[in-house]
């Protein structure tokens, strides 16, 4: 399926590895020019090489988007090297601390919001003016099954729920301008070096299997390609009636009916 986004410019945060890398690869296969950011130059370089091998113009920028001050220079670099951002994929996220209210300080709670919400919001604010001017734009925010319902830890659940809420509001606000804003909610997805990889290394096969049996209806952890391809679809005109949505990619892991 030709998604009709060849030549567009995308910025994928946390795009050097994991789900961000997969989103960047899926977009590159559609002819999109890609900027990725991350904190490690060597990892950025290897992913940029992969993207270039698919025919994309690609750059990697060292940036920590949990610091909102990094948003402006990152955005400026992308515009200077590739052109204005048509497609923004806010993928950076994670947990600073993994416990409940009794073990999560206010500082840890705030830091999780910095990582999952505020950097993404800062980049949205920078990208939206160009998108409105050209009457076309796509923003895809990577949330989580634990932003839709109870699970995980308190700061992560709250931050991802806030991201989903901001996505919904922005999607409705910008719909008339041709700017579509959606979120994607992955379930427990295995990527090399990711959190579920670490989980499997740190626990016995019996513990891992029990988690799978209790939580994952497909009988296995998720994998990155379905999420990457959904991001590419949401970035296209084929998704022209989808905005303000939060779409699960969780193999039935979530229980929410909405």
Question: Rounded distance, CA 174 to CA 241, Å?
Answer: 13
Distances (CA, A) of 37 to 58, 61, 115, 248: 11, 5, 14, 25
**The two structure tokens encoding residue 184:** 């994607």
Would you call 251 exposed, middle or buried from its count of C-beta atoms within 10 A (0-12, 13-18, 19+)?
A: buried
- Residue of 121, 156, 199, 255 marked catalytic: 156
Distances (CA, A) of 139 to 85, 121, 221, 244, 246: 10, 11, 26, 10, 12
Are 128 and 179 in contact by the 8 Å Cβ rule? The answer is yes
User: Measuring CA to CA, which residue among 63, 146, 71, 162 is closest to residue 110?
Assistant: 162
Whether 199 is a known active-site residue: answer no
**What DSSP state is assigned to residue 37?**
E
Summarize the chain as % helix, strand, coil (round to 5). 50, 15, 35
Q: Which residues are catalytic?
A: 156
């Amino acid at each position: 399926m030709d998604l009709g986004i060849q030549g567009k410019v995308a910025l994928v945060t946390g795009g050097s590895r994991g789900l961000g890398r997969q989103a960047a690869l899926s977009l590159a296969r559609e002819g999109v020019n890609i900027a990725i950011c991350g904190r490690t130059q060597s990892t950025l370089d290897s992913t940029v090489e992969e993207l270039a091998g698919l025919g994309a113009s690609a750059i990697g920028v060292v940036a920590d988007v949990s610091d909102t001050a990094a948003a402006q220079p990152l955005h400026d670099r992308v515009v200077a090297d590739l052109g204005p951002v048509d497609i923004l994929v806010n993928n950076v996220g994670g947990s600073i601390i993994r416990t409940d209210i009794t073990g999560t300080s206010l500082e840890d709670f705030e830091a999780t919001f910095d990582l999952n919400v505020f950097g993404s919001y800062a980049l949205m604010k920078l990208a939206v003016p160009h998108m409105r001017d050209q009457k076309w734009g796509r923003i895809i925010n990577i949330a989580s099954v634990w932003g839709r319902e109870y699970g995980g830890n308190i700061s992560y659940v709250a931050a991802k729920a806030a991201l989903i809420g901001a996505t919904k509001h922005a999607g409705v606000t910008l719909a008339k301008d041709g700017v579509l804003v959606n979120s994607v909610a992955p379930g427990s997805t295995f990527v090399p070096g990711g959190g579920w990889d670490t989980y499997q290394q740190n626990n016995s096969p019996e513990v891992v299997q029990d988690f799978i049996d209790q939580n994952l209806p497909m009988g296995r952890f998720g994998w990155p390609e379905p999420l990457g391809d959904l991001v590419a679809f949401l970035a296209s005109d084929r998704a022209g009636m989808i905005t303000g949505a939060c779409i699960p990619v969780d193999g039935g892991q979530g229980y929410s009916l909405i």
